[in-house]
């Protein structure tokens, strides 16, 4: 029984899984920000090209 308790304590103290989770969340956040910025930039570029096409 003491071996199980010791293994459980070691599992709780282990931070490798937490670090991987943090990196995963960070990668997800960066992806969301990139998609949002590309959408905003794309909309702006579309407007610019439409204005140029209208002027021509």
Give 1-49 pLDDT, tens digit per residue: 888 888 878 777 776 667 778 899 999 999 999 999 999 898 888 888 9
pLDDT of residue 15: 67
* Residue range of the domain that includes 24: 2-55
pLDDT of residue 43: 85
Domain total of the chain: 1
Is the per-residue pLDDT at 55 higher than 80? yes
Structure tokens at 27: 């990668």
């Amino acid at each position: 029984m003491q071996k199980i308790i010791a293994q459980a304590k070691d599992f709780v103290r282990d931070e490798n899984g937490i670090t991987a989770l943090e990196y995963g969340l960070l990668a997800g956040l960066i992806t969301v920000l990139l998609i949002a910025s590309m959408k905003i930039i794309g909309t702006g570029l579309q407007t610019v090209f439409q204005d140029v096409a209208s002027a021509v």
